[in-house]
Amino acid sequence: MERNPIFHQTRLRLAAWYTLVMGGILGLSSLGVYSVVAHAYRETIDQGLQSVANALHKSIEPAWQQPGQLQRLAKEFSLELCVAQTNCLPKTTSIKKSITEAANPVNYYIRLLDRSGKIFASGGMEIDNFSVTSALEHWQILTDSSGTRYREITLPLYTQNQISGYLQVARSITDLDQHLAYLKLALVLGLPISMIFVGLSSWWLAGRAIQPVYLSYQQMQQFTADAAHEFRTPLAAMYSTIEAAIKLQQEPKANSGILDVLKRQNRRLSQLVGDLLLLTRIDQKELTGEYQPCCLNDLISDLTEELAFLAVETKVNLSKQVQFSENLYIAGNEEQLYRLISNLIANAIQATSSGGKVTVFLGKSELYAMIKVEDTGIGIAPEHQLRIFDRFYRVDRARSRTSGGSGLGLAIAQAIVQAHKGNIHVQSQPGQGSTFTVRLPLSP
């Protein structure tokens, strides 16, 4: 395939397209995976933060702006609230601890803001270097001076149905950023590596996909070469005969032999063209619509009678054996079935020397009609048995040429059998004879 530029380029193009499409699909899938994972992480963080904030809000709101109540509450819940950075409560740290232990190394902070948004109290982690003044949006992401990002939730605190301050709870999202960075790295590195594998497998797959096309292309080339060769022989013979006729124009007696040669070669050419045409029509399934019930018993009787003269000529004993009394019908094209069986019988007679036997059996199983043509002829060596059904293939070219065969008989037989949805097999021992078995599906 590599030596043929058309197939090589097609394979390359197919592999490139496949890689491109697969690359696009993989890229989109990676993007999808990244978005889903990032969304799931964020959702988990937000839910945790929301429940912590809700719990704190529930406790802080009633005590908010009641003198001494906040300190009492902070003490009660062990909150480390440092009011205005000066009036710090004793560090009893149980909330901070429980939060920190639960999500180490995650940092939390809590802030209380007055109505104008000024920090009134804060707690949780150290927030000295926290430089960002947060807006009062419900959810936001902030970055401190060291670059650490925080997810923050802001809940309003009400006093007599009026917003009197805000509770902010935040959590560092370094762990999320880290996980997502690893995921991104894995995807970014994984994509080109997978593309290399995709590229290699595409090349291999494209090769496999093109292989049958390439094989049939080779067969076509072989067929064209063989057909041209077959046409050349009778054409050359006719040409030289005509040349001789022109030279011998003055001697009318010599012309009769020449005309015989011309007639013979012409018949050979016509037969060749006819065979090729039949093969093409069977290949294109042009004749499958013409199937009718055909009686195989009648076909075999007619053929054994018609070919009896050929058998007598070569002193071969041609007989038939039908293994049942009633007639056996199959749906088919009678002309083609006639051709199929006559090709097999003619081959068997040609391969059998005088005194030998050719027997045609007709049998059946539940689903199939079985036609067997058995001879006691020269047989076929195993290495040829697979190839005899190829177009123009002959085991012994020189011998077949004298008998006028072109090597299309078995190819036609096989094409007819296949068109009738049957199968054909050969069993043979060199020197002992051959048996060709055809199975054809019975009419339903």
Q: Which residues bind ligand ATP (CB under 6 A)?
A: 343, 347-348, 351, 375, 377-378, 380, 388, 393-396, 400, 405-411, 434
Give the CA dihedral 215, 219, 225, 229, nearest 10 degrees: 150
What's the closest the beta carbon of residue 416 comes to ligand ATP, in angstroms? Answer: 12
Among 134, 93, 97, 139, smallest CA distance to 112 is for: 134
Query: C-alpha angle with apex 168: 162 to 172, nearest 5 degrees?
Result: 165
154 touches Mg ion by CB under 5 A: no
- The correct pick among 377, 409, 422, 433 for binding Mg ion (CB under 5 A) is 409
332 or 409: CB nearest ligand ATP: 409
340 or 410: CB nearest ligand ATP: 410
What's the closest the beta carbon of residue 280 comes to Mg ion, in angstroms? Answer: 18
What's the closest the beta carbon of residue 228 comes to ligand ATP, in angstroms? Answer: 16
Q: Which does 279 bind (CB under 5 to 8 A by kind): Mg ion, ligand ATP, none?
A: none
Please give the size of the binding site for Mg ion, defined by CB under 5 A. Answer: 2
Contact criterion met (CB below 8 Å) for 417 and 350: no
What's the closest the beta carbon of residue 378 comes to ligand ATP, in angstroms? Answer: 5
Among 308, 324, 305, 317, smallest CA distance to 356 is for: 317
Which residues have C-beta within 8 Å of that of residue 247, sequence separation ≥ 6? none
What's the closest the beta carbon of residue 351 comes to Mg ion, in angstroms? Answer: 9
What's the closest the beta carbon of residue 364 comes to ligand ATP, in angstroms? Answer: 23
Residue nearest to ligand ATP (CB): 409
Chain Cα centroid distance, residue 334? 40
Q: Is the dihedral of CA 247, 253, 254, 257 positive or negative?
A: positive
Number of Cβ within a 10 Å radius of residue 248: 14
What's the closest the beta carbon of residue 295 comes to ligand ATP, in angstroms? Answer: 25
Q: Which does 378 bind (CB under 5 to 8 A by kind): Mg ion, ligand ATP, none?
A: ligand ATP
Partners of residue 295 on adjacent β-strands: 329
Q: Where are the alpha helices (DSSP H) in 126-173?
A: none
- Position 8, amino acid: H
Contact criterion met (CB below 8 Å) for 423 and 439: yes
Name the packing angle between helices 334-351 and 296-306 (round to 10°). Answer: 40
Q: Which does 333 bind (CB under 5 to 8 A by kind): ligand ATP, Mg ion, none?
A: none
186 or 277: CB nearest Mg ion: 277
- Position 286, amino acid: E
Which one of the spans 92-100, 187-195, 269-277, 402-410 is the region binding Mg ion (CB under 5 A)?
402-410
Contact criterion met (CB below 8 Å) for 112 and 101: no
166 or 393: CB nearest ligand ATP: 393
168 or 343: CB nearest ligand ATP: 343
46 exposure class (CB count in 10 Å sphere: 0-12, 13-18, 19+): middle
What's the closest the beta carbon of residue 17 comes to ligand ATP, in angstroms? Answer: 42
Partners of residue 163 on adjacent β-strands: 158
Q: Which does 155 bind (CB under 5 to 8 A by kind): ligand ATP, Mg ion, none?
A: none
Which one of the spans 21-29, 127-135, 192-200, 403-411 is the region binding Mg ion (CB under 5 A)?
403-411
377 touches Mg ion by CB under 5 A: no
What's the closest the beta carbon of residue 393 comes to ligand ATP, in angstroms? Answer: 6
What's the closest the beta carbon of residue 277 comes to ligand ATP, in angstroms? Answer: 14
320 exposure class (CB count in 10 Å sphere: 0-12, 13-18, 19+): middle
Ranges within 342-361 binding Mg ion (CB under 5 A): 347
Contact criterion met (CB below 8 Å) for 162 and 175: no
351 or 419: CB nearest Mg ion: 351
Q: Which does 407 bind (CB under 5 to 8 A by kind): Mg ion, ligand ATP, none?
A: ligand ATP
414 touches Mg ion by CB under 5 A: no
Chain Cα centroid distance, residue 99? 54
154 or 343: CB nearest ligand ATP: 343
Which one of the spans 136-144, 265-273, 401-409, 425-433 is the region binding Mg ion (CB under 5 A)?
401-409
155 or 395: CB nearest ligand ATP: 395
124 or 379: CB nearest Mg ion: 379
Number of Cβ within a 10 Å radius of residue 294: 22
Contact criterion met (CB below 8 Å) for 46 and 154: no
Among 86, 82, 113, 80, smallest CA distance to 99 is for: 80
**H/E segment holding residue 427:** strand 423-429
190 or 430: CB nearest ligand ATP: 430
Residue nearest to Mg ion (CB): 409
Q: Which residues bind Mg ion (CB under 5 A)?
A: 347, 409
